[in-house]
Amino acid sequence: MKRIARDDVATPYAKCIICRTGTRSHVLEKAKYSEFTSEEIIDESDAYSSKQWEEIEEIVKFQLEEDAIVMCHKCWVKKEIEFVRFTNNRFEEWKKSPIENAQNIAALVKSMNYYKFTKGKAHEATRAQILELVKILKEEIK
């Protein structure tokens, strides 16, 4: 059965992937739902009617299959600080030899997008460093 992520509903509470507290602060991956149809009686004749009838309608329903992958704000901030520190420590080294560190740079970009570290003024410098690394790497590959 096909699993879908729904944008029309709020993320249900789930446990933080690090400290296991209930949260929905930072949604890393949305919850997955399976879709199914159900028949429901929307109108029917009364019990004493000589001619029995009922009106049935097919309704699409969703069932939660996989919880969302979430991180509480406290753990997210720790991860963010760790990410910025790691980027700052490795930036000059990776800038000098981007080809040898291509996998590391790709992992850095993937982490930045997965944890959504790109938002906010605090990340502008770090984001600029990462974009510079990507630009240098692309130029080296050409």
Q: pLDDT by residue (tens digit) across 15-70? A: 999 999 999 889 999 989 998 888 888 888 777 777 888 888 898 888 888 888 99
Q: What is the pTM of this model?
A: 0.75
Contacts of 4 (CB under 8 A, 6+ apart): 32, 33, 34, 35, 62
Torsion 111-116-119-123 (CA) sign: negative
- What tens digit of pLDDT does each residue of 78-125 get? 999 999 899 989 999 999 998 899 999 999 999 988 998 876 666 788
Residue found by looking up tokens 């969302």 in the block: 68
